[in-house]
Structure formats: C-alpha cells, structure tokens
C-alpha cells in the first residue's frame, strides 16, 4: 500500500473548510468517498471534492476501496462509529475529543490495538511547527525555569441551533474548546499533571457548560491555569512564565495556513519578537496519520496520549464547582 484511501463519515463544517481540502493537498492520502445522514449533502461534498458519495455510513464502511476513515461527527456519536469503523478493519482519524469519557476511550484504544489499526485524535494544533519552536526555546533556557503555563481558548456565542449546545450529542465548551488548553498543558508540562480544581459555568436551560477554568499542577510544582468558553471575544493563546522571563503566542490553536506566527519573549530589561514561517497544521496532521498507517508506526505513544487526555477531562469534571450562568 503506497497511499491511504480515505472515507469520511459525516459532512461537518470543519471537514468541508479545513480537513478535506488538506487531504487533497497532502501526500499519502487519496480521498475516495464521503457519507452523510443526508444523501443530498453527501452528493454536494462528493461533487466539490471529486470523490464518490456513499449511501450512508454503513455502505462506506463496507467499501473495499477504503483503508481508513475520518470521523467529524458530533462528539456523542464518535464512540459508536469509531468502534464500527475499527470492527470493519478501517484505521480511524477522529475529530477531538475521541469520546466524552475515559472508560470509552480506553475501550476504543484497546479495540484498535487488538485489531492492529491506527486510531488517532485530530488535535491538529500539535502538528504546527510553532509549538516545537516554543518548546525548544524553553528547553534552551530563554525564559529560565518555567513556573506557570497559562492558556485560553474562547469563541463568541454560537447559533442557538448549534449542535455544541446539545447535551445528548456531547455538547459543551469543555469538550469543544476546553480540551485544547488541556492538551497543550500536557505537551509542555508532561503527562503527570494533576487536576487541582475547576469551575464549569452551565447554561441555564441547555444542560451544557458554556465556560470554565482549570488549575493543574505538575509534580515539580509548576502550575497550569486554563480558561475556555463559548461566551467570549475570540482568543486562542498561551504563555509560559519563567523565573527569568515570559513567552507568549497568539493564535496558538487555530493559525491559518498563511499566518506567520510571532513568539514574544519579555524579560526584565528586554523584549523581542520572533517571526516564524507559516505552516499548515491540517495538512501536517493528515500526512502524519497517513505515514503512521503506511509505515506501521508504533501505536503506544498515541494510545497513551488519548487515554491520558481522556483521564484529565474526566478529572476536570469530577473536581468541578458548577455555577449556572
């Protein structure tokens, strides 16, 4: 196999705007078919991207010309269709989060491992070069010893009909935008983070959280303070505060492919800005997924990342003080 033949379960906005165009540009990927609950929508997607329209999710999973599937369905539907795809012998790239609880995440990771298949969460921001540069600067001591990691991801209120307000489909700000700062904290501070406390602000009628704040701590005593929500002016940002200086990065989670990131470093008597090359995190992650499948890459690190992230999200919920908006 020299290319991964991809099918798509669901015609979500992010698939149309970001991921499927990236697949068309990527090496090692061939987009073969899309499926939707709405056959007309599947046909529109197929015509736009030059692939086939399957007659429903089951038919797509039965196709012998599909090696892997991308799942951009609502979070509450991920577990069912990811499991079905793995049972059909397909590798899976799932939109984040993989599930809304750790137990189910463990089951899916175990199913993938036993089947010899690659299962991956689409935390695309980790595949932008800016974060490796930041980590290198911290390792090189540019801000001294890290003391605090801070991150925020917030967006303006959504349309009232948006699926992210539907508690039955895994809605809520924690699972949609809150998981990004949590994953970033693990990336910079390591896998031994503990949840010290959290606050979740609930919508008065919809039964979902619309905002929150989290405090984490590493065994070293370094802390992470994370904020997120659906009722904010847009912000996608993180900063690392050290004993000799601090570093900040805007558009940390959602940089457009043409954007040149700017890292700002400030110390007691000096400030500088480092402008980095533009990078395409959507193309990068689908190419990484394809290489992992084609090369038979070791799955242990990916499995650990999925389960650790799910554990942190569960613990954020269990520690949460809940306040109704």
Catalytic residues: 96
DSSP, res 174: I
Tokens 């959280």 sit at which residue? Answer: 209
- Return the sign of the alpha-carbon dihedral for residues 278, 280, 285, 286: negative
Who contacts 153 (Cβ-Cβ below 8 Å, separation ≥6)? Answer: 177, 178, 180, 181, 227, 228, 235, 236, 237, 253
In 3D space, the residue among 23, 41, 31 whose CA is nearest the CA of residue 5 turns out to be 31
The helix (run of H) or strand (run of E) holding residue 84 is: helix 75-87
Give the integer Cα–Cα distance in Å for 90 and 286: 15
Environment class of 267 (CB within 10 Å of its CB; exposed 0-12, middle 13-18, buried 19+): middle
CA neighbor of 304 nearest in space, from 101, 105, 69, 100: 105
Task: Give the integer Cα–Cα distance in Å for 62 and 65.
Answer: 9
DSSP letter assigned to residue 115 = H
Token output for 176? 């949609």
């Amino acid at each position: 196999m020299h290319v991964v033949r991809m099918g798509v379960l669901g015609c979500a906005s992010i698939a149309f705007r970001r991921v499927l165009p990236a697949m068309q540009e990527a090496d090692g990927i061939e987009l073969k078919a899309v499926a939707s609950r709405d056959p007309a929508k599947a046909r529109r997607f197929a015509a736009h991207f030059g692939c086939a329209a399957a007659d429903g999710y089951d038919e797509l999973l039965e196709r012998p010309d599909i090696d892997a599937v991308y799942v951009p369905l609502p979070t509450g539907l991920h577990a069912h269709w990811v499991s079905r795809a793995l049972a059909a012998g397909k590798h899976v790239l799932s939109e984040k989060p993989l599930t809304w609880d750790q137990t189910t995440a463990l089951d899916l990771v175990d199913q993938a491992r036993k089947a010899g298949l690659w299962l991956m969460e689409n935390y695309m921001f980790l595949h932008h070069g800016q974060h490796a540069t930041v980590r290198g600067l911290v390792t090189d001591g540019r801000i001294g010893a890290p003391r605090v990691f801070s991150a925020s991801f917030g967006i303006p209120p959504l349309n009232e009909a948006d699926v992210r307000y539907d508690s039955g489909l895994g809605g809520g700000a924690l699972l949609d935008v809150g998981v990004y700062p949590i994953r970033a904290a693990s990336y910079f501070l390591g896998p031994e983070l503990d949840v010290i406390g959290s606050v979740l602000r609930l919508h008065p009628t919809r039964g979902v959280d619309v905002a929150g704040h989290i405090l984490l701590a590493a065994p070293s005593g370094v802390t992470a303070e994370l904020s997120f929500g659906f009722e904010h002016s847009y912000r996608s940002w993180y900063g690392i505060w050290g004993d000799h200086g601090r570093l900040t990065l805007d558009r940390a989670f959602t940089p457009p492919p043409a954007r040149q990131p700017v890292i700002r470093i400030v110390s007691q008597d000096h400030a500088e800005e480092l402008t980095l090359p533009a990078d395409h995190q959507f193309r990068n992650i689908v190419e990484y997924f394809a290489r992992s499948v084609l090369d038979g890459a070791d799955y242990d690190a990916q499995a650990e990342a999925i389960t650790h992230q799910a554990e942190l999200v569960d613990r954020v919920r269990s520690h949460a003080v809940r306040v109704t908006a």
